[in-house]
Chain A
């Protein structure tokens, strides 16, 4: 039987925007979103897929989504990897260098809940431990289409298909 371990609630110090505010942010970024990607200890599988987003097959630019080199221009932080100890500080600096409002997306099983690494002596095991995560894109690695769906979901341009309640439901074995 497959069980889902649900994530802990994020640190109380990390505040999440209200629904109204989120709407406004989505409206702001809806047509033009700039992404700063940070690899916080991935296996390079996620990067490989993210890189392909700009390839002719997916061409994410057509959706008004771009990658930027500096966090100063970024609206969204796309984090991959299991959050290694050495990357915690650079990651937080990157987030701090971004202008507000800003979105955070955890990409891949590693960033979502640590993947096979989990919480270990060398990895934090989940992005939500240090940053307020807006969207989780699961998968190991998430395919380019999953990535696009996740990004559009963040922007309010696509519908969420799985919900926490349903997962919890399944986890409790009441399916």
Chain B
């Protein structure tokens, strides 16, 4: 039954993508194409959720091969549970984006190339679906390249800005470098296995020498990592994501970089099989550094969407820490721990997809109604755009891992499972994992700062500019989309016990062990312990619900227990208590509202509020070793003396690794390209000669 549902939903979704692209191409009128776009996108989203959910519940679909004219065998579509999980994520993100686009695409400023945007959007969606459902490397790579090029086009063509063109091109370039790594990894596996479908690759991996397997691992990590935005391949991300229209930014940050994670999981956990311990530790270290650097830069950035982009880097880092730990545990033959930490990482993938979509849509709403994304020009939106502010606040709380929202659950689980390092045999490995845990803790702390700053300076206080003062609330569809995601953040954060068994379905085939009972203890069973009463209570209260219990992680495998669902109750109770106390101690008498007290001056002006730069200043100074910020400061003493002059003060924070790595690299590349230009004469005969020489070379190699 579920197999049929999954198959039908999946193929309908793909069909709808094709139909949507076609319709958008044919419908000339903006007023028609937007509804087509919205309805089709939402339908695709819903179908993907249905299909993915069915896949997660049931068995893998039967293989579906498409004959291909290429010499690599048929192209195979055969989603498994991992693919199904990512299908859910794509669906969960696209459905609200579709809804959001109703007002977003229709509003001012109008999209110049609306038709191209909508057509390519559906092609991109189809490519995304194929990437996670492909069961052979060739189809995956083809879809991958389509995705890379389309995201490049979609980012760039609404703008004439050279800088944005540059940013998009950077994204494409890094993606292509990554593709090299992926192709090389697949080629190595395919050569050993004798074919390109995943079964062949798995077989090939088993035959490879350890050195070759290490190489495949590193190549795949670099290749997929480039798309995910791990350090040091992150430079393009904060440039490209903000440049895109906000509905696309959301897709880029919530889904497309996650496909890099999908690739890493697919290759390292599925295709390659168990590897040496250092794989995991390498991934973990890279993840930890990525997370810390990402959040640090998010804290000093002033562009709302760039903040979100940097925070995407941070979250990818966190996920990589989880994946790395899972790899390390698996290498140490601790599949239970590996599965648990993997579940945590997957949960974080899901959570990040929801709140990052929410935040990007919120940033888009702010940009739409104020025309700026610079925090230094915003302020006071809470009174003018209450819905957007509320939704953005939920997203910010979620991403800052504040209960009862979803970021809290996955980050807590991640941290909690990383602390189980004592199970690892090697001391060095334990230390690396603990360092990863410390990095997560640090990241979580700074994330709070970053998002308090974003909300505090962007939405609270007085409007800093005329544009912010004249902001109006965005349209209903945009609000509804954000509200939907906010609710999703809340539910994912409060009912993890519904989600975890499903994620367990994903990891069970990867590790060959089900850990459902280790994470969510069965009701009224197990040895009597301190927390059993709590478990029992949860069971009693929610007896009617189809879950094991509402107490999360309360098993002997873990040190502590946490119960997000109870936290909601606790928070509500505390809130009620607080209100009661406030009511009780509220002084009698009338209330007066007065102006802000500012030392007796006539008006408190907006520029007397803390600016985003000032708020981030302590972080900037403490981590100056990482930021390498430069300050241009001309005090012009006379300015103060004469009372009227202006001073010059400007901080610049170069993007991470830009001065150290990218500048020299770019210099070297452009030097090389300059040399290579010699072979580009533009003469047709010469190109024919090149082809001839290449064929000759191939023949010779074959012959050898």
A-side residues, CB < 8 A to B, are 38, 70-72, 89-91, 93-94, 96-97, 99-100
Interface residues on B, range: under 10
Interface string of B17-40 (1 = CB under 8 A from A): 000000000000000000000000
Q: Is B645 on the interface with A (CB-CB < 8 A)?
A: no
> Which residues of chain A are near B601, meaning CB under 8 Å?
90
B597 close to A71 (CB less than 8 A):
yes
Q: Whole-angstrom distance from the CB of A103 to the nearest CB of chain B?
A: 16
B594 close to A (CB within 8 Å): yes
In chain B, positions 562-605 with a C-beta closer than 8 Å to chain A are 589, 592, 594-595, 597, 599-602
CA distance A94 to B594 in the complex (A): 11
Complex Cα distance A155/B503, Å? 69
Beyond known contacts A70-B597, A99-B592: 14 more, CB 8 A cutoff: A38-B600, A71-B597, A89-B602, A90-B599, A90-B600, A90-B601, A91-B600, A93-B595, A93-B597, A96-B594, A96-B595, A97-B594, A97-B595, A97-B597
Question: How far is A147 from B397 in the complex, measured between Cα atoms in Å?
Answer: 52
Contact A93 B600 (CB under 8 A): yes
- Sample 21 A-B pairs with CB under 8 A, ordered by A number: A38-B600, A70-B597, A71-B597, A72-B597, A89-B600, A90-B600, A90-B601, A91-B600, A93-B595, A93-B597, A93-B600, A93-B602, A94-B600, A96-B594, A96-B595, A97-B594, A97-B595, A97-B597, A99-B592, A100-B589, A100-B592
Q: Is the interface of B mostly helix, strand, loop or mixed?
A: loop
Q: Nearest-CB distance from A71 to chain B (Å)?
A: 6
Contacts of B595 in A (CB 8 A): 93, 96-97
Chain A residue, CB-CB nearest to B596: A97
Instruction: Specify which chain B residues have a CB less than 8 angstroms from the CB of A71 in the assembled complex.
Output: 597
Q: How far is the CB of B599 from chain A (nearest CB, A)?
A: 8
Complex interface: chain B residues within 8 A of A100 (CB): 589, 592
How far is A133 from B601 in the complex, measured between Cα atoms in Å? 23
Distance of B596 from chain A, by nearest CB (Å): 9
Residues of B300-332 at the interface with A, using a CB-CB cut-off of 8 Å, are none
For residue A89, which residues in chain B have a CB less than 8 angstroms away from its CB?
A: 600, 602
In the bound complex, how far is the Cα of B597 from the Cα of A100, in angstroms?
16
On chain B, the residues within 8 Å of A99 by CB distance are 592
Across the two chains, which residue of chain A brings its CB closest to B598?
A93
Q: How far is the CB of A77 from chain B (nearest CB, A)?
A: 12
**In whole angstroms, what is the CA distance A69 to B595 when docked?**
17
- In the complex, how many angstroms separate the beta carbon of A161 from the nearest chain B beta carbon? 34
A97 to chain B, nearest CB (A): 5
Residues of B within 8 A of A91 (CB): 600
Residues in B with CB closer than 8 Å to A72 are 597
Residues of B within 8 A of A90 (CB): 599-601
Max count, chain B CB within 10 A of own CB: residue among A70, A93, A100? A93
The distance in angstroms between the C-alpha atoms of A71 and B594, with both chains bound, is 12
Taking the closest CB of chain B, its distance from the CB of A137, in whole angstroms, is 22
**What residue in chain A is nearest B602 (Cβ atoms)?**
A89
What are the residues of chain B within 8 A of A93 when measuring CB–CB?
Answer: 595, 597, 600, 602
Bound CA span A93–B595, Å: 9
Q: How long is the Cα–Cα vector from A100 to B594 in the complex, in angstroms?
A: 12
Give the nearest-CB partner of A100 in chain B. Answer: B589
Question: Which residues of A are found within 8 Å of B599, using beta-carbon distances?
Answer: 90
The docked-state distance in angstroms from the alpha carbon of A70 to that of B589 is 21
Q: For residue A96, which residues in chain B have a CB less than 8 angstroms away from its CB?
A: 594-595
Q: Can you name the residue of chain A whose Cβ is closest to the Cβ of B599?
A: A90
CB distance from B590 to the nearest CB of A (A): 8
Q: With a CB–CB cut-off of 8 A, which chain A residues contact B597? A: 70-72, 93, 97
CB 8 Å contact bits of B224-253 with A (1 = contact, 0 = none): 000000000000000000000000000000
Residues of A within 8 A of B600 (CB): 38, 89-91, 93-94
Distance A48 CA – B600 CA, assembled complex (angstroms): 22
Minimum distance in angstroms from B278 CB to a CB of chain A: 58
| B517–chain A nearest beta-carbon distance, Å | 56
